Amino acid sequence: MNTQCLVIGDLNIDLILNRIEGFPKIDHEIIAEDYDVVIGGSGGIFTAVLSMLGIKTAIISTIGNDMFGKSLTSKLKENNASVSRLIINEKEKTGITIYLSYDSGKSQTSSVKLIKNLKFNDFTLKDLSSIEHVHFSSYYVMDSLRESYVEIIKKIKSQSKEITFSMDTNDDPSNEWKRKIYKIFDHIDILFLNKREALNISREQNIKKAISRLSRYVEKVVIKAGKEGYFAKIDGKDYRGFCQNKKNKNFLDSTGAGDNFDAAFIFGFLNNIETSKTLRFADYCAEKSVEYSGGVGNIKKFKIIKGHPIYNSLKKGDGKWD
């Protein structure tokens, strides 16, 4: 199957500790009942989830030629994602993030030097004839790529003006939230943020004002708000959705829930699903994600997701939705 979506962003191993007794303290040990070693990085999770939903996706990122790097390659293949554009570094270690996952949220510590050093001249943008969409992840982590996004977009558009673009900024570890990012907004079609990111980037005090400001630059803005659901302004129309599982029934781990939302939204977008249905399906995927460890989850999760009425409304053979 030809690659339809290209991701440019972060990929690392996630080590996730679940069912933890208490919070960490210096010189004090706490116990986690379980752990998982899974595909991590916003870009990595998005790539695997979108591929499992049926949109063949490749990721441009960099990993080491080590145990974790080989594990990522294997896991991406298992999730039907393309690894043909991965950059293997023989000298540096594959990035890793350690998550402490609680019902109320999560704490994370990352070592992602390799990802931070990825530069535009480290990869090529060839053979894009089948690409319909490009997704950028973790803008604030991609230190060496940060000044090149507009150039990358223009390079891709020079090959095909039909390709659309989305971005999930993710968190800014420096907490600076510099406004240089607005230069990119003028060149993308879809912007994904969580509530905290939206307020910090827009410099506004509430979601209504934040989404109003951001939609001046991007036609489709989606703000994910966890148990509060989602807010969106798409092509001038406002949308508001609410979480169906406010009590976090069957909750296990929130890692990557937002990336599941992004991937499901792009799935709907590329398949021409009506916007309100796309948003509802994306929210459903995000809520289902928290019932599984890691952002990608497992085959059982996708069997359940593919049983959703919106997913099943796809007419076989013509690629259109009811």
High-pLDDT (> 90) share of the chain, %: 80
219-229 in b/e form (b: 16+ CB < 10 A) is: ebbbbbbbeeb
Does residue 316 surpass a pLDDT of 50?
no
pLDDT tens string 141-184: 999 999 999 999 999 999 999 999 999 999 999 999 999 999 99
Question: Could you write out the DSSP letters of every residue in 59-78?
Answer: EE-EEESSHHHHHHHHHHHH
Task: Say what the pLDDT of residue 314 is.
Answer: 67
Residues 29-50 have a mean pLDDT of 94
What's the token pair of residue 186? 């003028």
Does residue 81 surpass a pLDDT of 90?
yes
Contact 132, 159 (CB under 8 A): no
Question: Mind listing the domains of the chain with CATH numbers?
Answer: 5-312 (3.40.1190.20)
Q: Rounded to 5, what percent of the chain is helix, strand, coil?
A: 35, 25, 40
The Cα–Cα gap between 222 and 279 comes to 9
Q: What pLDDT band is residue 23 in, cutting at 50, 70 and 90?
A: confident
Does residue 298 surpass a pLDDT of 70?
yes
Task: Say what the pLDDT of residue 20 is.
Answer: 86
Q: What pLDDT band is residue 19 in, cutting at 50, 70 and 90?
A: confident
Q: Going by C-beta distance under 8 Å and a sequence separation of 6 or more, which residues neighbour residue 205?
A: 199
Task: Say what the pLDDT of residue 317 is.
Answer: 40
User: Residue 12 has what DSSP assignment?
Assistant: E
The Cα–Cα gap between 241 and 231 comes to 7
Does residue 106 surpass a pLDDT of 80?
no
Q: Going by C-beta distance under 8 Å and a sequence separation of 6 or more, which residues neighbour residue 208?
A: none
Residues 135-145 have a mean pLDDT of 97
Three-class DSSP category at 284: helix
pLDDT tens string 51-78: 999 999 999 999 999 999 999 999 999 9
Q: Which amino acid, residue 178?
A: K
Question: Could you write out the DSSP letters of every residue in 121-186?
Answer: GGS-----TT--EEEEE-TTT-TTTGGGHHHHHHHHHTT-TT-EEEEE----TT----GGGHHHHT
Residues 75-82 have a mean pLDDT of 97
**Of 21 and 165, which is predicted with more confidence?**
165
Average pLDDT, the chain: 93
Three-class DSSP category at 35: strand
Q: Going by C-beta distance under 8 Å and a sequence separation of 6 or more, which residues neighbour residue 72?
A: 11, 12, 13, 39, 44, 63, 94
Lowest-pLDDT range, 9-18, 24-33, 270-279? 24-33
Q: Residues 197-202: contacts with CB within 8 Å, 24+ apart? A: 197/169, 197/170, 197/171, 197/172, 198/223, 200/172, 200/175, 201/169, 201/177
Lowest-pLDDT range, 164-178, 188-202, 237-251, 262-276? 237-251
The Cα–Cα gap between 198 and 183 comes to 16
Does residue 315 surpass a pLDDT of 60?
no
Please, what is the end-to-end C-alpha distance for the chain in angstroms?
24
**Of 294 and 314, which is predicted with more confidence?**
294
